Amino acid sequence: MELRHLRSFVVLAEEMHFTRAVHRLNIVQPALSGHIRALEEETATRLFDRDRRNVRLTAVGELFLTQAKVTLEQAQRTLEIAQGANLGELGTLRMGFVSSVIPSILPYLIKRLRQAYPHLVLELHDMNTPNSSKSSKMVG
């Protein structure tokens, strides 16, 4: 199942009009018809009742619409996560420090990181002695 087919389905379901849907999607009408036909073939069911003048969702189409919207929202969120991780805005930052830094610069750095990257997981590692290492995890 292709995301562009789902997008076409959702827009047509929202517009209930092929001409308005093709304008919103910036595609031609035969392409929209092809997307809908492909979905109907893949699902082995009719998603729309249509004639020359009217377009209506079938009962199955109404159920499919709900899930298609969820799928598209999740796909968008997945894209945003990948882009955010690529930019360093998501993920985990591990930072070692010595205790003498705590009263001076560490709180300032943590505050600035939280402001700039609110979704970053910050792991702090106290590097007091060469043989021991304490760690704490700050989420979100």
% of the chain at pLDDT higher than 70: 89
**Residue keyed to tokens 């979100």:** 140
Distance in angstroms (rounded) separating the CA atoms of residues 34 and 101: 63
Q: What is the pLDDT of residues 34-52, one digit of tens each?
A: 999 999 999 999 999 988 8
Confidence of residue 90 (pLDDT cuts 50, 70, 90): confident
> CATH code for 3-85?
1.10.10.10
Global confidence as pTM:
0.67
Q: Where are the domains of the chain?
A: 3-85, 91-138
pLDDT score at 122? 86
Distance in angstroms (rounded) separating the CA atoms of residues 41 and 130: 65
Contacts of 124 (CB under 8 A, 6+ apart): 95, 96, 97, 106, 110, 135, 136, 137, 138
Q: What is the pLDDT of residues 41-81, one digit of tens each?
A: 999 999 999 888 889 999 999 999 999 999 999 999 999 88
> CATH code for 91-138?
3.40.190.10
pLDDT reading at 133 higher than 60: no
Q: Higher-confidence residue: 29 or 109?
A: 29
pLDDT score at 35? 97
Task: Give the pLDDT mean for 23-36.
Answer: 96
